Amino acid sequence: MVATLFCLHALGSSGRSFEPLAAELDGTANVHPIDLPGFGSVAELGAATVAETVDYVVSVIAEAGAERWYLLGHSMGGKIATLAAARRLPGFQGVALLAASPPSPEPMEDDRRERMLSWLEGTGRLDQDAAREFIDANIGAPLPSVLDAVAMQDLLRTSGEAWAAWLRDGSREDWSDRLRSIDAPAVVISGGQDGDLGSAAQPRLNGPFYPQARFVTLPGAGHLLPLERPHEVAEQIRALLT
């Protein structure tokens, strides 16, 4: 039986960021991206709290009715994936985290947080200059033009309310005292050129919650791993599934 991989995207992204990964895993897993409230196809939902977002994801998983399934969480989606995995719903098998935000407050310098919030001034949404700055700051090398366009389009359609809510509140929430360790297979992947959520930070931030975790670093990669390194991410997902 082919397992289902529910994929939760990063801040300012959408399920489209997992299209290259889905192509790599064709025949190995049923890749099921979920657009989180305020992003992608459900940007019109606006801001949602972390708890509301977890409930939303759980409802989508339950409705899908997969018998064997895994969670993948990228960056912001990593925090949501961990909290959803902790509920141990029927059929849950394991977790893959990509440059994942932890259950505890995400480390981020105040000036960078304020810079990202300042991009909303005026229109309340990101413009092309802001999106370009964000993408360039989060990659180890330029993306192929088609994937760069996907990243740009996702950022431009992101709800400003959802963007601000994550930076001001969601990323700062601390769930660590309410969370038991998740004793299930897990792989934690990070980019060698990532910053706050890179390879040096992941064992400390997410390691305590995953006693079975394998930690993998992709040299030269930045933060946008599903777009930067889909082939290498897929290799690690295959190992997780087996």
Domain that holds residue 218: 3-241
pLDDT digits (tens, 9 = 90+) for 99-142: 999 999 999 999 999 999 999 998 999 999 999 999 999 999 99
CATH code of 231's domain: 3.40.50.1820
* % of the chain with per-residue pLDDT over 90: 97
Mean pLDDT of the chain: 97
Rounded to whole angstroms, the maximal C-alpha distance in the chain is 51
* Total domain count, the chain: 1
Q: What is the mean pLDDT of residues 35-60?
A: 97
Taking CA atoms, 41 is separated from 15, 19, 218, in Å, by 9, 15, 30
Residue count of the chain: 242
* % of the chain with per-residue pLDDT over 70: 100
pLDDT of residue 98: 98
Nearest to 228 by CA among 191, 202, 196: 191
pLDDT of residue 242: 86
Q: How confident is the model at residue 1 (pLDDT cuts 50, 70, 90)?
A: confident
pLDDT of residue 154: 98
Q: What is the mean pLDDT of residues 194-219?
A: 95
pLDDT of residue 175: 97
> To 5 degrees, how large is the angle CA 106–CA 226–CA 123?
65
Q: What is the mean pLDDT of residues 58-70?
A: 96
pTM, whole model, 2 decimals? 0.97
